[in-house]
Structure formats: C-alpha cells, structure tokens
Amino acid sequence: PKATHGNKISRLRNEVAHNNSIELAEAAAREAIVTPLRSLPPHPDVKAGLQALEALGVRLISFTNSSNKGVQTQFENAGLIEFFEARYSIEDIQIYKPALAMVLTRLGRRSLLGAAKGCCSTIF
C-alpha cells in the first residue's frame, strides 16, 4: 500500500490489537479512526489568521503525510480549502515531513526554499 500517515496508524493499530489478542475488523477499525480525523475542526483562530494572510497576498500551500483524499476531506469539512493554492500529500511527493527542503526541491520550487525555512506550521 501507499505510504501514508493513515497506513502507518493502521499498521500500529493492528499490531496493538494483535499483541493484546483483540479481534479487530479492518473496515470497522479504520472507520473509527479515519472518520473523526477527517472531521476535526480548525483551531478557533485559524480562519481569521488565514483571512489575514490572504489579505496580505500570502500564497499558501499545504504538505501532509496523509492521503490526498484525507487532506481534501479535512480541508473541506473544516471550511479551509479555499485558502490554499495547492495541497501536497505523501502520495504526490514520496517524502515525509518535516523534510521541507527536500519536498520543495522535489516539487521544483527552489525559489521558496529561503522563504519557507522556519515558516511552516500545522493548523489542525
């Protein structure tokens, strides 16, 4: 399977269940984890902060160790999708965060390297 944050969580969940002799149906267990993760609201000040950045002309992109479907669903459910120019997943770039310089190089965005150092954060 593709290397995503969700797959890593699934493997860990299965290992814990196995080690504790717990029978765990894959579909039910995945649904119990994935659905809540994809429905998390943003912190209270996030939308106002993103609106302020947008007003300043700051262009925003996101990087995630989650799947494309997962991050799109999260952003849509949180009402944040409109603030981001692009979203990049581990599925797209095959490099895990926090390797930002590697991510930007892989994406051909060398011009962003200097500006991006120390300026990335998580909003969830």
Give the tens place of pLDDT for each residue, 46-63: 999 999 999 998 888 888
- Domains (ranges, CATH) in the chain? 5-116 (3.40.50)
Lowest mean pLDDT among 10-19, 92-101, 108-117: 108-117
Report yes or no: 107 and 116 within 8 Å, Cβ to Cβ. no
Kindly tell me if the per-residue pLDDT of 33 is higher than 50.
yes
Kindly tell me if the per-residue pLDDT of 112 is higher than 70.
no
What are the pLDDT digits (tens) for 61-83? 888 888 888 889 999 999 999 99
Name the average pLDDT for the chain: 77
Phi/psi-derived region of residue 118, left when phi > 0, alpha when psi is between -120 and 50, beta in every other case: left
Alpha helices (runs of H) in 3-118, residue ranges in sequence order:
5-19, 26-37, 46-55, 68-78, 90-93, 100-106, 113-116
Please give the pLDDT value at position 123.
43
Does this model's pTM top 0.85? no
